[in-house]
Structure 1
Amino acid sequence: MDNLRDRVVVVTGGTRGVGAGIARAFADAGAQVVSCARRPPEVPLDGVEFAPLDVRDAAAVGDFFAARPRVDVLVNNAGGAPYRPLADAAPERHARVIELNLTAPLITSLAAYQHLRRTRGSIVMIGSVSGGRPSPGTAAYGAAKAGLESLARSMAVEWAPQVRVNTLVVGMVRTESSALHYGDTDGVAAVARTVPLGRLAEPADVGAAAVFLASGAAAYISGASLLVHGGGERPVFLDAANVHVGRRET
């Protein structure tokens, strides 16, 4: 989108998977993109500058933004969690998940606020469908993502009209780590069949949605949650029911 040309966009966790897809989408839109992560990408991203940063380190985050001359868009993408049933891990491990997925986006947003206020910029939070439904095995992650949506809505009110804040509620995405979550090729295909649109999202799908929310096309959208989940999840009871539900022709 032309109105993002030469804008400065910071994407946390933007070196692989969904984050890399977001960074590429903004670069393709003509933005100057800075991707922050603890480790550099295995394959450099064209048109994307890499900056090492641990978003859980408040002092390092403050120094990073203080050193930048301008920021127009912040995408809080860094996050994730391993499969970990609640009773099978120490509380400290669950607390770290919440720190990465909720506290870190707050820290980063606060550090970027003065930049965004001056440029009348935008924040895009990368949320998850896990924040709106039970998330067994990743309960702390789901709780953090629920909190992230709430944080974004409050932030959108407090920082209006200078800064718009929105959330992308992302469903299942096909990335280089898909096998860890869904198994082999057959497992990924089986999971994809549970999505109404018949496939998992690609990182580019999430990137396109992030570009939209940061662009002038979304100038009157703030405090919103945009669902990027292919239609959601097919209700389990439809497959469990022993009655046939036909379609009435009119």
Structure 2
Amino acid sequence: MVSYDYTGRVVLVTGGSRGIGAGIASAFLGAGAEVVVCARKPPERMPREPEGLLRGGTGPFRQARYLAADVRDPGDVDGLFGEIERVYGRLDLVVNNAGGSPGAPLAGTSPRLHAKIIELNLTAPLLVSQRAYPLLSASAGSIVMIGSVSGDRPSPGTSAYGAAKAGLHHLAGCLAAEWAPAVRVNTVVVGLAETENAAGHYGGSFDQVAATVPAGRMARPQDVAEACLWLGSPGFVTGARVHVHGGGEIPAWRQLS
């Protein structure tokens, strides 16, 4: 595993209190960063520095700082960044991870539900990125969007989510061109992922779902985190989409006898 040093850098992970977001937050803590996570409700357990990565090998585990914010709300977003400015005086990286969707077939479901899904997965990252820009441009920082393969291929049952993620991928490319060279913007496109809610989301057992991935397993939070660590470190790459999907998904026709 490549080693990264984020000592002295401040990282914001939206939706960083559980699942993939918590894995990303923990990885940046392990690399020495000051990590802020935001969510609407306090997490039951804060992301902390992973065991075995504690710098120096002594002392207590460092934890992320939690700040309450609904990233769909411009007022909450302003308050979030105001507190980051007050406490740290800088920001080096934003990981726009907050997102998700319940199963929501388009026919017969509430228009407001679909609007909320689009707000969370597309409008919120736009608002956060816009508000982060002055701080990131001052530190030559960057943004990493957490996208999804649902934005690359048909997403039946989650059409609004897939459309929002497709928009997120395009938003990242637009911002990368608009804000270069001051701020880099990239996307991690996540495939089938192994999180606490995976079994209920995909249906079937983990083994059955993993069998549809060429790499033989679903993506784990640490797989996504490693891509974020690379993209967040200083470099030339901007406007890129890094697919963390284990080779994609095996087409159903391959299973036909």
TM-score, structure 1 as length reference = 0.92
1:78-131 CA-to-partner distances (Å, cap 9, x unmatched) read 000000100020211101100000000000000111000000100000000000
Amino acid in structure 1 at the alignment position of 2:184: R
State yes or no: 1:127 paired with 2:143. no
Look up the match of 1:38. 40
Task: Return the offset for 1:181.
Answer: 1.1
Task: Return the offset for 1:208.
Answer: 1.0
Look up the match of 1:178. 198
| Equivalent residue runs for 1:49-128 within 5 Å | 49-67=65-83, 68=85, 69-128=89-148
| Equivalent residue runs for 1:1-250 within 5 Å | 1-46=3-48, 47-67=63-83, 68=85, 69-183=89-203, 187-216=205-234, 219-240=235-256, 242=257
Task: Return the offset for 1:43.
Answer: 1.5
1:165-203 CA-to-partner distances (Å, cap 9, x unmatched) read 00000011111111211346xx21101011001001111
Q: Percent identity?
A: 55
Look up the match of 2:56. none
Amino acid in structure 1 at the alignment position of 2:198: S
Amino acid in structure 1 at the alignment position of 2:242: L
Counterpart CA distance in 1 for 2:74 and 2:232 is 25
Counterpart CA distance in 1 for 2:240 and 2:221 is 21
Q: Which moved more, 1:96-105 or 1:86-95?
A: 86-95
Counterpart CA distance in 2 for 1:88 and 1:134 is 19
Task: Return the offset for 1:232.
Answer: 0.3
Amino acid in structure 2 at the alignment position of 1:43: R
Amino acid in structure 2 at the alignment position of 1:52: A
Q: CA RMSD in A?
A: 1.2
Counterpart CA distance in 2 for 1:210 and 1:99 is 23
How many residues align? The count is 237
SS of alignment partner, residue 107 of structure 2: helix
Is 2:4–2:229's contact at 8 Å kept on the other side of the alignment?
no
Task: Return the offset for 1:44.
Answer: 2.2
Is 2:68–2:80's contact at 8 Å kept on the other side of the alignment?
no
1:124-161 CA-to-partner distances (Å, cap 9, x unmatched) read 00000000111011000000000001000000011000
Amino acid in structure 2 at the alignment position of 1:30: G
SS of alignment partner, residue 88 of structure 1: coil
Q: Which moved more, 1:41-50 or 1:53-62?
A: 41-50
Q: Which runs of 4+ in 1 moved over 6 A?
A: none
Amino acid in structure 1 at the alignment position of 2:43: P
Counterpart CA distance in 1 for 2:73 and 2:137 is 23
